[in-house]
A and B are shown apart, each in its own frame.
Chain A
């Protein structure tokens, strides 16, 4: 493939995902305040409006037993790993840790930081609806965001004006639009960027100052548009599931003994993070943010439409299937993540109806490369009808 600088930019993004603390500390060196967040339901716009850079707390993928004496073993490895990071004091440089009341497992990781890792006086737990598709939820979110705004104003000793919020909304929406543009490449049969690379760039967005990020991503998209594209994709695989910041699993998908391409990831570390926009230029900024966050692809733990019990995420998934045309679906979930498993059981008959094969992989702290590799290869064989 012709390298017109796109590889260098992707490498820079990858480097940031691999050296998150180094990057974050460099921002601090420039005088920025940093707030870690443990759930993507935290409205980053409010932090950004106060001049605080939101940094997503991610796992380290280190095998450890320390957290078993702090949180129950039946919590997902992602929450254990994030709790471990706090106990190891890897994030001590953060000025603040924030989460929203969402996934119970991640709430436990947050609790460990607050109770045992020294974050008691620099933490904020935001009330967030557990059912987001109701009219009352919007009003509740707005009030909750207002309380958050007041807390941040006090914390940062800075008044957050509506103009500050509007500016933040625009910066964040720009990121979202750019990311959607980037993901559009994966619809092509000869995308100039691979799925794992897109996953890397997307993960970097959760760690970086958005203005710097947007500049880099604009450059990348510009260069990719001039790229002829890579070889035609192999078997097109779409991933759907829970938080997964272990990029090795995505690399694995494209390094099997058969040619396979990762063409979409529905998870809160990938598409669910950015696949929405907050309405701009509204008079009520917090209401606008609430509206935007309600329109997201829902997290399975919050997904029930009052009156029907419908899971709205399934509509998105079907739309993505239509747009990105996968040959197969990989359910990729954290072990012990019950909301995901309850969705998988209901999704399977839908996929069967659509004639799309699926397989399931359960994530833990480390990736069992041989095991997953074999399973994925068997899956590709099933799709292509190739005898082993």
Chain B
């Protein structure tokens, strides 16, 4: 059974399609793995797979772990919040329906930071997720459960959401691949809203080929989401073998920022690897990227404060204080239902949108957003991709940053600019590095960003680089799904 779990999603789907592997046996193997979750990666997992029927399609027979932010009809959907405890949606998110139509099946719903607000998964109302490489460390967030499930051998592949880095950063900290597609590639219908102008669904997988396989199924226009446009021409499995003729831009402003020594060394080694594969390294300028965090932490909380107004104890979820008057019921429900980080962001967003402050905060942040998008447009006139480390550090310790919200926000420094610009970006494992202060080596993520809707080109380059890096050879025996694990 262990051998089955070594297969990538693409390999398993091919074997099932060829009749060499029983879809039911494969699904049951993963069901058993998910049931043995010691990482708190799942909030719910499928219990009865006995009635499993072989589904046809490119993902036929592949189980997928789904972040608990996607509505799934008839199964619990909490978004990591107490306020939605016990909620069973009357409908299923388009992204999940599309996976289903491609032959995949939901294996479980994964833990996450409450309403996707966080970079460590410590903001879940249902307890933190543990990093499978070292259980004393965070898996990253907010899609921490999806990342830990894939890295920890509890799911072959997963989907998550990325608003400011919530797919890419946990993928980096768990040593897997995470892709945030262009805003508008995948429908947001049924994806519980955090910041609607930034939220985007994407895959978390063991390798780039699996990311392409999932994206191919997920992307597309949806009449239920007027902002969804899909990716013209679709997505196919990447096959590029080198990087000749491609230019990779490193932001000139990068060196000024605090990057841990181990992460920096891995980043530099990856740039050399790109050149060895025939790619060219150039310097680009993103002068406004340094204001990304400031703009993001106005825009995202502002949109969240509006989106989260719907949790008022009337139509779904928790109700408290029903013995008093209506306003008392609203206030008691929200006081008891939301955790500290969600309250903080609702407060921040409400303040930024309040009379007298709107222009100074929200208006200004939206202008910064324009500037950042213009920076990328200018950069892409000269280079094919922009590259950075995904995260300034490897996985940090549980509880290490929980007392300092601003320090936690700064984790998103490298991922937020792409979110604000709406462009696609992928994180692939580039190697292992010792954490600051010593200890066993942990995965480092390398981020590649491309122009809007250039996903196929991005996946081709990421695939060629992935083969060149050979993370599997370097980390093989230590990769948690191969039996290695931290204490």
Q: Do A and B bind each other?
A: no
Q: Which residues of B contact A (CB under 8 A)?
A: none
Q: Which residues of A contact B (CB under 8 A)?
A: none
